[in-house]
Structure formats: structure tokens, C-alpha cells
């Protein structure tokens, strides 16, 4: 078994592998294609999907050693034939753990502008889930940096209910479907508005976690949102946090109460590597009190808001990708070590996009 990490940097995709002798190997792929998101088939971990900003979607069948386009870079320029993805900006991906066809997990892809597509053949063909765009809230969907558009930020299949899918629109709604995307339920009045990361946990049915930008303004308590009834109502523990604009999140694979989040004072200080940038990682357990974790992590100043991830096969272990390096915690996120992965100077000024950790 080999540990493998996939790092979506600002321009390239890095595939990082730990060899049997403990050394780390790094390969660069999709050079200059601006990867945005990653997903793995949970029952076929060598099968991966990667979205890009403007160059469509790519697939690997050999654990990242090679990649092939499955949504042509020029797709947005061609007449839509109903079989592919007509948008070149693929912003969110997910593979369902309980919807399968011929041994392949059903794949969902979200784009900019906000549309959702479903593939039952490993990405060869796609079906537009057009009912998503007919929701009443769609009239107010808008992405602040590019207000003329909007996007699907996160897709989360329910690990307990086949066909149930939660989708975060940036910005404007957290919505869900119970039938694989044929029909949709719009956001609840109290639901988060600007979710950046949306998770569920295999050990906690109906529990939904949202890390949102909602807390970056005058409602700090709305940054972290947790529902125990599949999004019908929300609780918002805030004690212990100094920063409330949330971006990434990860949950201990063995404990649905141990949650880590990355946070910044506001969007302006989160997404660019400059002197005013500042971000932190917070941790909470069943006490619902947040504590900043620092030991072994880089200084908060100049830190682009980190990406967090876990590996389902590594209980109590967390990973974080930052502009200052790649780090791992093996004690539920309390202390950290920097992994000895070569780090180019250019990475320190970049905004990392996604992190995926698997065991092959």
C-alpha cells in the first residue's frame, strides 16, 4: 500500500507519493491548466477526476501517472450535443459512494456558471441536471469576485442515502436532491448562503457540515454551520474563534465530532499571498469550543487560507496544504509536522486549490 497525495496548485497538479523507504516523490502533471478540484472513486482509488479553470475535465485510470481529457478544452465553444459538459470551468467534483454502474461510481461535476452534470459511465457521457437552475433562489446566485456569474462550489453525496446529494452554490444557496438530480429542494430560510466546503460523515447519518464565508461580515457565528437533520435546522458553535471567514474543513474519519477548519478575518486577507494575509486553523471536538492549533504549523502572517483533507484509511490523521508547504498531523490535528516535499519558491505566492489523500 502506498500513500499518495494530489495537490492542486495554482497552475499545476502535483502527485506526491511516499515510497517504501519513506522518501517522497513528486511529479507535476496538467502543467499550466489551473486545476480547481479533485475526486476519487472510493471503490477504485486508482481512478481520479480533476477539474480545471477553463480547460475542462481530466481523468486518470492509473492513480495519477497519466491524464486524459474527458471534457474537451474547447467544449464551451462548440454546439452542446447533450452528451458532454458545455462549460470549460469545472469547479466541483464528487463520486458517489453508493451509486454505481458497471463497477464505476456515479460522477457529479459542477461548473461555472452554476450547472450540475451526472455521468454513469466514468465520464464518457454526461447528463445535464437542468432542474437545478430552475430553483427560485437561482435569481440571486452571484459570485462576488465575478458578479456577472455564479458557480457550484461543492458537491457532497450522502454516504447513507443513495441518490441524495447536497450542493453548495457560490454564492446564494445550499440545496439538495433526493433522486440523483431529477428534482431539487431549495435552501432553507436559515441555511448557509456562501458555503465553501460541505461535508458529511459515514459514522453520523444526516449530519451536514458547512464551512462558509457568511461569518466574514457582521454575523461571525454563521461561518461554521452544523446540521443533525440533513440541513433542516442548524447549530453554529463559535466560542474560541478569532477569525470567522471559513474556507476549508476536514473531519476525523474515525470521529464525526472532531472537526478542523481554516479561517481568516475576511476574504481580502484569505486568498492572496501578501503582507496583510492572515489565516489560522481551528479545531473542535464534542465540547463545541474551538481552539487554534499552531504547533508545527507555519506562522499565520502571510498564510494563504489553507486546504484541509483526510484519508479514510488513516483515522485521527489530518493533512493541510498551504502556500508555505504540506503538513500532516497524526494526533487528531493537535500537533503538526511539515512533510519533506520539495517546495518551489513560486508556490509561496500561490493560492492552492485542492488536496486529495488516498492509499493505493
**Tens digits of per-residue pLDDT, 276-318?**
889 999 999 999 899 999 999 999 999 999 999 999 999 999 9
DSSP string, 226-252: EESSTTSS-B---TT-S--EEEEEEE-
> How much is the pLDDT for 79?
47
77 burial (CB, 10 Å; 0-12 / 13-18 / 19+) is exposed
| Cβ neighbours of 301 (radius 10 Å) | 10
Kindly report which listed range (95-99, 208-212, 268-272) carries the lowest average pLDDT score: 268-272
Range of the domain at 239: 3-359
Q: Per-residue pLDDT for 76 more than 50?
A: no
Residue 269 DSSP SS3: helix
In angstroms, the Cα distances linking 9 to 32, 52, 245, 340, 348 are 10, 11, 21, 17, 11
The model's pLDDT over 94-128, given as tens digits with 9 standing for 90+, comes to: 999 999 988 899 999 999 999 999 999 999 999 99
* Average pLDDT value for the chain: 92
The model's pLDDT over 134-152, given as tens digits with 9 standing for 90+, comes to: 999 998 898 877 878 899 9
> How much is the pLDDT for 274?
82
> How much is the pLDDT for 145?
79
> How much is the pLDDT for 82?
54
The model's pLDDT over 6-18, given as tens digits with 9 standing for 90+, comes to: 999 999 999 999 8
Pairwise CA distance, residues 240 & 223, whole Å: 13
Q: What is the CATH number of the domain that holds 190?
A: 2.130.10.10
Kindly report which listed range (65-79, 91-105, 170-184, 258-272) carries the lowest average pLDDT score: 65-79
> How much is the pLDDT for 170?
92
In the predicted model, what is the mean pLDDT of residues 55-78? 80
Pairwise CA distance, residues 201 & 315, whole Å: 13
18 burial (CB, 10 Å; 0-12 / 13-18 / 19+) is middle
Number of structural domains in the chain:
1
In the predicted model, what is the mean pLDDT of residues 19-26? 84
Amino acid at each position: 500500500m502506498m500513500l499518495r497525495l494530489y495537490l492542486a496548485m495554482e497552475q499545476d497538479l502535483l502527485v506526491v507519493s511516499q515510497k517504501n523507504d519513506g522518501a517522497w516523490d513528486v511529479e507535476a502533471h496538467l502543467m499550466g491548466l489551473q486545476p480547481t478540484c479533485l475526486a476519487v472513486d472510493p471503490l477504485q482509488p486508482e481512478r481520479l477526476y480533476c477539474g480545471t479553470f477553463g480547460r475542462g475535465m481530466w481523468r486518470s485510470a492509473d492513480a495519477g501517472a497519466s491524464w486524459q481529457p474527458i471534457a474537451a478544452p474547447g467544449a464551451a465553444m462548440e454546439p452542446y450535443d447533450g452528451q458532454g459538459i458545455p462549460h470549460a470551468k469545472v469547479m466541483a467534483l464528487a463520486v458517489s459512494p453508493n451509486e454505481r454502474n458497471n463497477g464505476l461510481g456515479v460522477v457529479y461535476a459542477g461548473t461555472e456558471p452554476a450547472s450540475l452534470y451526472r455521468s454513469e459511465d466514468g465520464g464518457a457521457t454526461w447528463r445535464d441536471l437542468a432542474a437545478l437552475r430552475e430553483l427560485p433562489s437561482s435569481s440571486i446566485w452571484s459570485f462576488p469576485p465575478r458578479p456577472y456569474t455564479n458557480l457550484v462550489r461543492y458537491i457532497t453525496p450522502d454516504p447513507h442515502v443513495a441518490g441524495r446529494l447536497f450542493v453548495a452554490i457560490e454564492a446564494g444557496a445550499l440545496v439538495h436532491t433526493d433522486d440523483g438530480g431529477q428534482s431539487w429542494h431549495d435552501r432553507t430560510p436559515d441555511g448557509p448562503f456562501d458555503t465553501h466546503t460541505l461535508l458529511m460523515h459515514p459514522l453520523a447519518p444526516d449530519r451536514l457540515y458547512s464551512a462558509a464565508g457568511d461569518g466574514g461580515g457582521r454575523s461571525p457565528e454563521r461561518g461554521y454551520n452544523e446540521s443533525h437533520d440533513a440541513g433542516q435546522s442548524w447549530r453554529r458553535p463559535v466560542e474560541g474563534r478569532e477569525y470567522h471567514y471559513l474556507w476549508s474543513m476536514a473531519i476525523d474519519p474515525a470521529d464525526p465530532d472532531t472537526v478542523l477548519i481554516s479561517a481568516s478575518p475576511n476574504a481580502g486577507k484569505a486568498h492572496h499571498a501578501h503582507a496583510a494575509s492572515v489565516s489560522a486553523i481551528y479545531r473542535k471536538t464534542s465540547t463545541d469550543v474551538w481552539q487554534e492549533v499552531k504547533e508545527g504549523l507555519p506562522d499565520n502572517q502571510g498564510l494563504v487560507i489553507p486546504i484541509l483533507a483526510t484519508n479514510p484509511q488513516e483515522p485521527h490523521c489530518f493533512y493541510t496544504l498551504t502556500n508555505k508547504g504540506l503538513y500532516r498531523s497524526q494526533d487528531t490535528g493537535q500537533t503538526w509536522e511539515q512533510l519533506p516535499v520539495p517546495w518551489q519558491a513560486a508556490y509561496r505566492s500561490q493560492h492552492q486549490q485542492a488536496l486529495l489523500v488516498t492509499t493505493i
